[in-house]
Structures are given as C-alpha cells and as structure tokens.
Structure 1
C-alpha cells in the first residue's frame, strides 16, 4: 500500500480508502472485508449519518481492537439540522453508533452552494465546531461537495477548512468542482479526498468503442485500474474512496494502490484518456467536455453543470438526474439563459449552447421540477 502525507497535519493516509456507503447484509462478511482491508494497509474509512446501518456496523467492527489503527470519517447531515441543538443531537448519535469518542475527519455532508453553509453559520456551527475541536471530539473539519466550480471556490474561501471531498474522475475532469477546483483547494493547502472515482460504475462498464482505446496500450489494466491510476497520477489527490463489497474487488484495488505514484502516466497514456472521453461523449446527449471555456455566463447559468445533469438522463434516469440537477444548480439553472450567444463563441466543441440549454430546460425543468425544487429547498433551509 502506498501512503500520502496530509499537508495540514502530517497524517499518513493510504491512497486507497474504504467507502462504507453500501455494506453487505451479512455483517460477518463485511467484518472480514474490513479487517482484511486494514491488514492490507488501508487506514481511512468513510461513512455518513444517512448511510443505512453503516455507522453502527462499522462501529461494532472497529471496536474489536481496530479503532486506533484507522482514520475514521463520517458526515453531518446538515439538511437535518433545524436548530443549534441539532448539531449535538446528531453528532452524539454518531459517536454512539461508531463506538468512539472522537472523529478523525468530520465532513459537512453534501454542500452544494454557499447559501447552505451560510445557513449553518447562522445557526451557530462555527462556535460548535470550535467547541468540538477544543474537546478533541473532532480532529479535522471538512466538507463533501456536489455542485459547480463557482460555488465550490466560494465555500473554500468562506472558512478555514482542513480538508475537502470531491467527485472527480477522468471523465468529470471539468465537471462539478473539476480540475480547477482541485487545484484551487490544493493551492489553499487542503488535502483532497476523492469520491466517485468510477462514476458510479460507468467507468468500469465501458462501451466497446471506449474499451478498445485502452486495449491499444502495451500496459494492460482493467477499466477500474485505469481510472484509479489517472487519479493517483495527480499529487493533489490524498486518497481515493472505493466502495469495495467483495474480497476480489478489495484485492484488485489494493494491488493497484500498491503501485500508485504521482506522475507515473506517460504522455501516450494520458492521450488514451482523452480518446476514451471522446468515445464516451458520443453516447451522451450533449458533447460537452466540461472545459468551462463558455463561462462565465452573464445570467449566472452554470453551463457545464447543466449539460452534465442533462447527459445523466441518458444513463441514470430522469428522476435521479432531476434531483441532482436541483441540488447542484440552485440559482444557476438552464432556464436563466436568455440566448445572448456569448458562450457559443468560446466553445471548442462548437455546441449550439442556447439551443441545448433549451432542451435541458425542457427535460429537467418540466413538471414536476417546480414542486420538487420547492420541496428540496424547503427541506434544506428548515
């Protein structure tokens, strides 16, 4: 196993982390996998309040003599916080579930824009964090992010964070916070944890056209290994989460992690990723690469994020995509486009952006977008 040093506190973190969102129903098998992962050198385990049964299961397993061998990460469900007292109510429940008296890496779960963070500030989260850190109950405070680049930078600048977690992979290099967000966080000295390295499995089950590109390489790797290698090639990445639910997957990923080095990819190999992305784009509704050359939009539309959500409808279904669209694009949605056309002049893909934004609006902002949006916003603010 390879390790990288946290630039904030000096912790040595395994480059492969164990994502605990989905455990098997057989707890004995889950326990075998977690213990095996620790024996292989994985020392970062990530869970969350809302992952069904995850915190309690992980707590029972780690309490059998493994707690001090790992860095434990879990997340505050800010959308369940209605008043200041809820911070303690939720946090103490998590400590009880996890059978521990401190959390190594505590994240504000699923921030999407600055407004969400400001609501928490208004409820007193700054004093609450200070108290927990002084008591040693929270060692490091950070956040996980699902939104666009502009809001990510605002959140980074809004507080003295100690780490952050991004959705990032070779296909989403310029989607959501993207490469620019990664570099901005790194310039601020933040360690960066990566989620969705395989884009929910879509970078494992590649179409034939994309798979054939990787097969041209003299170096033979599985699609999953290609994905991990691209991430570990970047020195800004501290660790990469993987939801490993089988011994075979654990062994394969750990073997890849044992060879993980920054700067290991050759120019020829990096070129393969670009060609694979081109092949994948052909299966999407809009051939947007997320480069952001079209930005900023005078009306505040987050064009790459809107197109990313629109493309998801082809692979993830409209309901799931619409929910993500609402969460990610608050205030930056496609219907704000007035058709000025300034963006088109800068698009290297020659996309008819206003035309495609109209399609995005028709697809994702049709009924029941408004009632869903109102419900989600009310839930997030209350």
Structure 2
C-alpha cells in the first residue's frame, strides 16, 4: 500500500480508503471486512452514517487498535426515529457526535467533517460564526476533533471550503464522469440525463479551478463516488458507453491534483481485494485513457488527463506532471510560488523539449504535446 500526505493535515493516509457505508451486516461480517482492509494496509475510514448498526460494527471491529486508524467522523448526520436526518440543530448534532465517539470506543475523531454541504448559501451561513461552527471549534480546541474537514459534491462549495482557513481537507465526489458535470446542488443530477449529456461536454472549469485551488492552498481531497456508484463498471450504465474497471477508476481519481485517498465502499472481503489490487496492477491494467479514448461518448480529445502514455521522453521530461502544473497555473493571473516550486523540482522542465514529437503518437487523446511544452516553458520561465 502506498501512502500520501492529506493536504496540510500532516496525516499519512493510504491511497485506498475505507468508506464504511455498506458495513451493515453482522458484527462478525464487519470484522472480516475490517481485517481484510487492515491486512491490505488501509488506514483511513470514513463514517458518515448515523445508524447504530454501522457505527457499532466499525467501532467494535477496530477496538484496541484505534491509533492505527485515521477516522473521518461527520457532524450533522443524525439518527432520528430510525432514519437518517441531516441537520445543524445542536440539540441533535451533539448527541449524535457523542454517540459516534462512544461506538468507536474513542475520545476523538482525527477529522471532524462538516457533513454534506452542497448549497453555497448554506456554507456561507454555517461558516459565519454559526452555533454549529462554534461547537466544532470547541471540539477542535479540546482535541475531540484534531482536524476540520467538509464533505460536498458541489465544486463551488468545495472551492469556498478550500479558501477557508479552518478547513484542512474536503471529501469530494471525483470520477471521470462527474468531472464533466457543471456545478449543482442536486446530487441526483449527476446520475440522470444531465450526467450522460455532460460526458461529451468536457471538464467543467469549476472542477479544474477546484483542483488548482486545493493544490495551491494545501487542502487535501479524499474521494467519494469514485466508481460513480458502480455505474462506470457497466457499459449500459456508464455515461461514456464503455465499462471501466476498479483499477482504472482508481487511477483516474488518484491522478487528480490534491487527491490523497479514495474511499471505497466494502460490503465483503472480495471488494477489498478488488480495490487494493490497484496497488500491484500493471500500467496496462490501470490504463483508463485507452478505454475512454475508444468510448462511443467522451470529450477528452485534446485534453491531457495525465495518464502518462506520452512517456518516455528522450530528454527525461515528466510530460504528464508538466502538463498538470501548467493546467493548474493557467487558472491564475500569476503563477503561484508553490506551483512554480513544484514545477522546478521536476528537474527536467518543459524548456528541455526538442519538439521531436515522439510522444504525440502515443497520446490517446491527440494532445499537441510539443506546443504545450513550449507554452509551459514560457509560462514558468524555464
């Protein structure tokens, strides 16, 4: 298992994470799944679920080894009259969070997540010294929450979170289909006709800007919906009209800027095995680009997806990384110092390109790489 630093939190998280939503069977079944995740090297769990069964299943399964797990625990997800209710009412939020701590046999959450904010106006209201934020600040000051995060599906909200000084990371929905979708506060839009139509429209500027902003501010991203609810595994339900594998979806997610870990839902040990197989998969097995390039519907022509097919460069240039930093830098009026530093650290920069064009026939999406290298050399000055 490979590990990545989660933004500016300083936490080292496994690039395959554990989304606990589907651990709703028996306690023994949960222990088997958690054991498989542990043995694979997974060390981060997301628990947004308020119901007692899932919380107790996970909490009991990791009892006695709390320090090896990084837990994203959500505030604002409550269990009322046998149903999930998202609320900011502290009369409900406080006991729900206390219940989370109790069922996980702990006195702290590594990351206290502001649960599910998809409307920009709700974000503004919450972060304007609301009672909810005051409670979260109290938890942070006491150590009951060690870092503060936020979950959202809306890139507009995510951008505001990345700019907020108290929010260190976001849980955000990332996959090649969602990256085509314009900002919306209605999650159902992503799975309906609008999602299918978006597959031929190209990556939306809101998402490109979000990735750039998170990279600049050091706001880490953990991923939800990385498989698009399994729809990407079936050509009949994929908006591209072609099926992807778990390894291909994970490769796409983990090559987005600022992404540290993908929260994968496990309901059986074999689901753990399918996901962690990514760690030893060959480049061919991880290759989403060739599949998307041959899809009946896609809008990636001319766009670098950082897949790495352009390698090797005779001058040793990491073309995918240069393109990534270039794309991020073009989101700003001036190149941020942090991006310039990362770019220079590559060693072989775009200025070393001899325009041999050897890389271009290997690109699945027809990117004019030599032209882009020339633009990058001008933009970065080297």
Query: What does residue range 116-195 of structure 1 map to in structure 2 within 5 Å?
Result: 116-120=122-126, 121=128, 123-147=130-154, 149-175=155-181, 176=183, 178-195=207-224
Q: Residues 109 and 288 of structure 1: is their aligned pair in 2 closer, same or farther, counting only changes over 3 Å?
A: farther
**Cα offset, 1:81, TM superposition:** 4.0
Q: Residues 2 and 51 of structure 1: is their aligned pair in 2 closer, same or farther, counting only changes over 3 Å?
A: farther
1:272 aligns with 2:272: no
Q: How big is the alpha-carbon RMSD for the aligned residues of Structure 1 and Structure 2?
A: 3.2
1:21 aligns with 2:21: yes
**Cα offset, 1:134, TM superposition:** 1.8
Q: Is the 8 A contact 1:72 1:104 kept in 2?
A: yes
**Cα offset, 1:224, TM superposition:** 1.7
Query: What does residue range 110-121 of structure 1 map to in structure 2 within 5 Å?
Result: 110-120=116-126, 121=128
**Cα offset, 1:80, TM superposition:** 4.7
Q: Is the 8 A contact 2:158 2:170 kept in 1?
A: no
**Cα offset, 1:51, TM superposition:** 5.0
Q: Is the 8 A contact 1:2 1:259 kept in 2?
A: no
DSSP 3-state at the match of 1:53: helix
**Cα offset, 1:97, TM superposition:** 2.0
Counterpart residue number, 2:228: 199
DSSP 3-state at the match of 1:197: coil
Q: Give, in whole Å, the separation in 2 of the partners of 1:104 and 1:193.
A: 14
Q: Residues 51 and 200 of structure 1: is their aligned pair in 2 closer, same or farther, counting only changes over 3 Å?
A: farther
Counterpart residue number, 1:95: 101
TM-score, structure 2 as length reference: 0.62
Q: Residues 254 and 88 of structure 1: is their aligned pair in 2 closer, same or farther, counting only changes over 3 Å?
A: same
DSSP 3-state at the match of 1:17: strand
DSSP 3-state at the match of 2:133: helix
DSSP 3-state at the match of 1:139: strand
**Cα offset, 1:119, TM superposition:** 3.3
CA deviation digits over 1:12-45, x for unaligned, max 9? 1100001111124222122111012111100001
TM-score, structure 1 as length reference: 0.62
5+ long unaligned stretches in structure 2:
78-84, 184-205, 304-382
5+ long unaligned stretches in structure 1:
215-221, 282-286, 292-382
- Which of 50-59 and 94-103 deviates more? 50-59
Given candidates 271, 274, 294, the residue that maps to 1:252 is: 274
Q: Give, in whole Å, the separation in 1 of the partners of 2:173 and 2:238.
A: 25
CA deviation digits over 1:221-246, x for unaligned, max 9? x6221111112233521000110222
Q: Is the 8 A contact 2:231 2:238 kept in 1?
A: no
DSSP 3-state at the match of 1:111: coil
**Cα offset, 1:124, TM superposition:** 2.1
DSSP 3-state at the match of 2:74: strand
**Cα offset, 1:249, TM superposition:** 1.9
CA deviation digits over 1:42-78, x for unaligned, max 9? 0001111435622121111111x22111101121126
Given candidates 218, 222, 227, the residue that maps to 2:249 is: 227
**Cα offset, 1:170, TM superposition:** 1.2
Q: Is the 8 A contact 2:222 2:263 kept in 1?
A: yes
Q: Is the 8 A contact 1:113 1:152 kept in 2?
A: no
**Cα offset, 1:179, TM superposition:** 3.6
Q: Give, in whole Å, the separation in 1 of the partners of 2:39 and 2:300.
A: 42
Q: Give, in whole Å, the separation in 2 of the partners of 1:209 and 1:163.
A: 29
- Which of 160-169 and 4-13 deviates more? 4-13
Q: Is the 8 A contact 1:174 1:180 kept in 2?
A: no
Counterpart residue number, 1:107: 113
Q: How many aligned residue pairs are there? A: 270
Q: Give, in whole Å, the separation in 1 of the partners of 2:9 and 2:51.
A: 28
Counterpart residue number, 1:54: 54
Q: Is the 8 A contact 2:220 2:259 kept in 1?
A: yes
DSSP 3-state at the match of 1:45: strand
DSSP 3-state at the match of 1:110: coil
